[in-house]
Chain A
Amino acid sequence: MSLRNVGIVYRKELVDSLRDRRTVISMIVVPLLVMPLLTIGVGVLSARLVGEAMKEVPQVMVLGGDDSPHVKAELERMKDLRIVPAQPDYANEISNKQIRAAVEIPEGFESKLAAGESSTVKIYMYEGELKSGFGADRLQRFFRELRDRTVREHLAARQLPESLVRPFDIEEKNVAPPEKVGGAVLGGLVPYFIILLCLVGAMYPAMDLTAGEKERGTIETILCSPVSRTHLVLGKFLMVLTASIATAVLSILSMAVSFGIGKKMLLGAARGAVDSALQISITGRAVISIFFVVLPLAVFFSAALLAISLFAKSFKEAQSYISPLMIVVVLPAVAAVLPGVELSPALALVPVLNTSLVSKEIVTGTYHWNYIALIFLSSCVYAGVAIAIAVKLFQREDVLFRT
């Protein structure tokens, strides 16, 4: 009889909520649209921009160098650079994106090269501007090659070996697994979105099922039915949890799919242009693990939101309580994304932050089982306390009939 009533309440709330456009939007539409838009949309857009920037032949200006005709001619022969006539306001032209970069060849450059005297070639570019950076890169490559060639010629003339100026080579090798490389960049962001969507998914139904009932006058109707208040709140809680989990699961699924599609599109769109920062590989194991780590957090959110909005007299009042809560949740979730914030026993007890941190590790392929267990347990305790408070509040007349 008892569990049956929880089930009856849950079923009714589910039907009721699924008929509510606003719940459906926050539970289904947002996760299914937000994730693909974020990953595919932003990813494709940035890949396209990078690709376009790379395809463009940058216009550069050569300043001076009239007494260095060979270098100038060589520059003009470069296929991936277009030389435009020198102008005195080259800096403005770079700022206004009329040209991408400029290079200043010092006086007597070629003769100094031949004489073995040192001189400085200046490259002007707009820091942080992608296309300007590409232009400057090509100029730099050109002059670096010229420098190397000159060194080799000088060495050869004196019959000295090349190793004299290059006694040894340095090579960097990556030992992190591929997911770690991609994960480090985007790893922190993924759980952050899942946690946030868990909260967003629970928010609307929690308010609708409590303050909304008060506002619509159905709270008295349901209180005069024989269902006990504990069963009533448990049924409602299950519905809010369903919405929260549905939002999380749908967002995980849509994220996995959009990453899969997004990766293909990125690779196709700009091949080498997309560096490892944009390559995200998340294993199925990581996705399932994140889900289990986030689960008690979803329980905690659902119960806490239910308790808070039950206290409100109206939907509007509930919103004004819950909106600040959003910031309270967002801050620790964001803190986990910051570089350098690492798991520690103390942080493992901070709700939201702990889950966010451990999820970040999981995405990057690291499983600290001790921490996972500790965080899961502490989250379960917080969730249990929140449920107990919600149940307790539902027994209080001054909360149910607050005037």
Chain B
Amino acid sequence: MIEAQHLVKRFRDKKRGSVCAVDRVSFSCRPGEIYGLLGANGAGKTTTLRILATILAPTEGTALVAGYDVAKEPQKVRSRVGFLSTATALYGRLSAQEMVEYFGRLHGLDEFALRRRIDELFERLEMNDFRDRRCDKLSTGMKQKVSIARTLVHDPSVMIFDEPTVGLDVMAARTIVRFIRECRDNGKTVIFSTHVMGEVEKLCDHIGIIHGGKLLAEGTPSELRERYAMRDLEDVFVKVVEP
């Protein structure tokens, strides 16, 4: 479960002064549901998701993630969240297994549970062939799988994806899309940001259109199409962003 209420994030910028990257954003996302945050570059998607993952602290407002307040109990939130973005790279000098082990240990898994969990994940994601290979020697697709295993090692109930398919080839992107769907089917709360309409249509149960830090429109894809009397979600997006 994710419940964001009036989230505000202000940065101080040398040139522009105070910048409001996220401006009173509220939404909620239930378990077994995918919430898509749709917006152009610089709209505030990454900042919102980083607040939910407790990487950044909100300036104002609150967000409950898996029942914990992101500002008050960030560590509890992090231990129930899996966060994946194109910016979350791997440690190149660790092997695939060591990478996943490291995060499993940080999540407090004991060695026995960790071993079982890793065997299960490596089997499921078909990663056994490159288990002991260093991450910097892996292909993009393999790296993606290691990242997925890393986010899943503690079996989080909430998954946060920040533009997870940017820069990936078709095959790697498909792996991610399939994985997001699996998360929902396993009853996890899933939120992800993108500017790719195709992914939104394929995946999302709910959509929030964000622009200039503000959440301008929200609803299921069909609700939004009806509300703006347009069949194409891209047209809806443009209509919302440039009224």
Which residues from chain A sit less than 8 Å from chain B, CB to CB? Answer: 1, 5, 8-9, 12, 15-16, 19-20, 216-218, 220-221, 223-228, 397-398, 401
Contacts and interface: CB of A to CB of B under 8 A. Distances in A.
B5 interface: no
B89 A19 contact: no
Given A15-B94, A397-B56, A225 B106 contact: yes
Nearest to A20: B93
Interface in B73-91: 75, 78-79, 81, 83, 85, 87-91
Nearest to B89: A217
Interface in B88-145: 88-94, 98, 102-103, 105-108, 134
B170 to A, nearest CB: 23
B178 interface: no
Contacts of B87: 217, 220
Contacts of B202: none
Contacts of A12: 91, 94, 98, 102
A228 B75 contact: yes
B146 to A, nearest CB: 11
Nearest to B56: A397
Given A221-B150, A226-B79, A216 B92 contact: yes
B98 A8 contact: no
Interface residues of B, number: 30
B98 A15 contact: yes
B66 interface: no
B113 to A, nearest CB: 15
B53 A227 contact: no
A228 B54 CA distance: 11
A224 B102 contact: no
Contacts of B196: none
Contact of A16 (B11, B53, B54, B91): B91
Contacts of A9: 106
Contacts of A398: 11-12
B149 interface: no
Contacts of B88: 217-218, 220-221, 224
A216 to B, nearest CB: 5
Given A8-B102, A220-B88, A19 B93 contact: yes
Given A16-B94, A216-B89, A218-B89, A224 B78 contact: yes
B132 to A, nearest CB: 13
Given A217-B89, A218-B90, A220-B88, A226 B106 contact: yes
Contacts of B53: 224
23 contacts: A1-B108, A12-B91, A12-B102, A16-B91, A16-B94, A20-B93, A216-B89, A217-B88, A218-B91, A221-B88, A221-B90, A221-B91, A221-B150, A224-B81, A224-B88, A225-B103, A225-B106, A226-B79, A226-B108, A227-B106, A228-B75, A397-B57, A398-B11
Contacts, number: 62
B55 interface: yes
Contacts of A401: 56
A216 B92 CA distance: 9
B83 A224 contact: yes
B55 A223 contact: yes
B95 to A, nearest CB: 10
A221 B160 CA distance: 13
Given A16-B93, A217-B87, A224-B53, 4 more contacts: A12-B91, A220-B87, A221-B91, A225-B103
A12 B150 CA distance: 15
B94 A225 contact: no
Interface string B188-215: 0000000000000000000000000000
Contacts of B105: 8
Nearest to B85: A220
Nearest to B12: A398
B89 A226 contact: no
What 4 pairs across the A-B complex have the smallest Cβ distances?
Answer: A217-B89, A224-B83, A221-B88, A226-B79
A26 to B, nearest CB: 16
Contacts of A220: 55, 85, 87-88
Contacts of A216: 89, 92
Nearest to B93: A19
Nearest to B160: A224
A99 B83 CA distance: 81
B107 A225 contact: yes
A15 B83 CA distance: 25
Of the candidates B57, B91, B98, the one having the most CB atoms from chain A within 10 angstroms of its own CB is: B91
A362 to B, nearest CB: 39
Contacts of B79: 226
B65 to A, nearest CB: 12
A389 B87 CA distance: 27
B58 to A, nearest CB: 11
Contacts of A228: 75
A12 B105 CA distance: 11
B106 A5 contact: yes
Nearest to B82: A224
Nearest to B9: A397
A12 B90 CA distance: 13
Contacts of B55: 220, 223-224
A326 to B, nearest CB: 26
Contacts of B57: 397
Contacts of B107: 225-226
Interface string B3-31: 00000000110000000000000000000
Give the one of A1, A9, A12, A225 with max B CB within 10 A: A225
Nearest to A215: B89
Nearest to B108: A1
Contacts of B98: 12, 15
A9 B105 CA distance: 9
Nearest to A18: B93
A8 B108 CA distance: 10
